[in-house]
Amino acid sequence: MSVSIREVAKIAKVSIATVSRVVNNSAAVKEETKKKVLEAIEETRYQPNAIARSLKVSKTHTIGVIIPNIANQFVPGVVRGIEDCASEHGYTIMVCNGDGNDQKEKQYLQILYEKRMDGIIFMSHMISDQVAHKIYSLNIPMVFINTYDPEKKYPRVGINDTKAAYDAVAYLLQQGHKKIAMIGGFPKDPIASRPRWNGYKKALEQFGVPYDEDLITWGNFSAEEGYRLVHEYYVKRNMIPTAMFCASDTIAIGAMRAWQEIGYRIPEDISVVGFDNISLSPFLMPPLTTVAQPFYHMGESSMRLLLSQIHGEKIKKKNIVVPHQLILRKSSK
C-alpha cells in the first residue's frame, strides 16, 4: 500500500518524530536534516494519512452537510457558499440528501457522527421531534439553515420570511392591486409557508384590503403545482386575480405558463411575483419579479457560524437573519 512516516524516517535516518515535525512544520528542524527528510519524502512518494492524524488529534477537518435535496433549485447555491468558506479554512464537506425525511435525516446524523465530523450544517423545512432528539444526543457543533431546532440551542440562519412576503405583497398593493392571489407551499410548513402567509395577510391588513381565504391555495413549491392550481382552481372557479404572489419561483414559472397558455398577458392582465430568485428567473418571459434570497451568503455565514463554534467561541445571536431583496422585473406592474 502507501508508505508510512516510518519508512521515511528509516530512509532519512531520523526518527519518525522528526519527519512529523517537517511534515507539519510543528517545530524547528535543522535545515540539513530537513533536507534529508524532504528527499526521503520525495523518494518514497510519502503522502500523509489524514485518517491516522484525525484519530490522533480528534479532528477530521470535515463537516457534514444535510440538505433536503441537492437537486433542488436553490440548494446548490447554499452548498457552494458552504464549500467555499469551508475549503478556505481547510475543511472539506460531506453532503447528504435528507429529502425532508425523518428516517433518512436521523440515519445521516448518526453516520456523520460516527465519522466524527467536526460539525454539521442542517438545512430543512421543519424538524421533527425524533430528529430533534437525535440532534441533542449528539452534542457537537451545529447550525441550522431555515429551520430551527425546538430548543433553539443552536444558531439558525435565514431570511425574515414574514417581512419578505410582506414586502412583495405591499409592493403589489402599492401598485393598486386589490385582488391578490397566493400560492403557498405546504400549509403546515412552519418555516417557509406560514411566515410568508402571515406576511401576505399583514400587508393586506396594513393597506386595508380585506383578506379573502378563497384567494389562497397550497401546492408543494413545484412548477407543476403552480401550473395545475391556476388551471384547476383559479380558472375553473373563474377567480381571476389581478396579481399573484407565489411562495417560490418554481411555482411562479408554472403559474405564468398556465396563464399565458389561456391567453392572459403578464403583466398586462396579471402581475406575478415569485420568491427565491433562482438563477433563471431573469431569463424567463417575462423576466420574473421576485424576492431574492441570498443563498450563497446563507451557506457562507452558516459555515462561519459553525467554525466559531468549532473554535469554542460562544455564539450570542441565535437567529441570524440575512437580507432579502425585492427584485422588480417585468412580470409585474
Partner DNA sequence: TTGTACGCGTTATCAT
Partner DNA sequence: ATGATAACGCGTACAA
Q: Are 49 and 57 in contact (CB under 8 A)?
A: no
Q: Report the residue from 22, 75, 229, 247 that binds a copy of itself according to the rule CB under 8 A.
A: 75
Site for a copy of itself in 93-112 (CB under 8 A): 93-97, 110-112
Per the listing, cell 397550497 goes with 218
- Nine-digit cell string for 234: 383559479
Compose the 222-261 pattern: x for residues touching a copy of itself by CB under 8 A, - for all others: -x-----------------------------xx-xx--x-
The footprint of DNA on this chain (CB under 7 A) covers a number of residues equal to 33
> Under DSSP, is residue 297 helix (H, G, I), strand (E, B) or coil?
helix
Tell me the three state secondary structure of residue 139.
coil
The interface partner of residue 24, options being a copy of itself, DNA, none and the CB cut-off 5 to 8 Å by kind, is: DNA
Nearer to DNA, 32 or 213 (CB): 32
Q: Which of 25, 45, 58, 314 binds DNA (CB under 7 A)?
A: 58
Asked if residue 1 binds DNA (CB under 7 A), the reply is yes
- Taking a C-beta distance cutoff of 8 angstroms, is the pair 14, 21 a contact? no
Query: Over the range 178-214, which residues count as b (16 or more CB within 10 Å of their CB) and which as e?
Result: eebbbbbbbeebebbbbbbbebbbbbbeeeeeeeeee
Cis amide prior to 323 (ω within 30 degrees): no
- Neighbour-count burial of 5, counting CB atoms closer than 10 A to its CB (0-12 exposed, 13-18 middle, 19+ buried): buried
What residues have CB less than 8 Å from 332, skipping those under 6 apart? 171, 172, 175, 243, 267, 271, 272, 273, 289
With H, G, I as helix, E, B as strand and everything else as coil, classify residue 9.
Answer: helix
Residue ranges in 11-50 that form contacts with DNA under rule CB under 7 A: 13-18, 20-21, 23-24, 26-30, 32-34, 46-49
Indicate the residue among 114 and 268 with the shorter CB distance to DNA. Answer: 114
Q: How far is the CB of 10 from DNA (least distance, A)?
A: 10
Instruction: Please state, in angstroms and as integers, the Cα–Cα distance from residue 133 to each residue in 151, 158, 161, 221, following that order.
Output: 10, 22, 26, 28
Identify what 328 binds: DNA, a copy of itself, none; CB under 5 to 8 Å per kind.
Answer: none
Residue 21, binding choice from a copy of itself, DNA, none, Cβ under 5 to 8 Å by partner class: DNA
- Give the nearer residue to a copy of itself in terms of CB position, either 116 or 231: 116
* Binding residues for a copy of itself (CB under 8 A): 1, 45, 47-52, 54-55, 58, 60, 62, 69-73, 75-77, 79-80, 83-84, 87, 92-97, 110-116, 137, 223, 253-254, 256-257, 260, 279-280, 283-285, 296
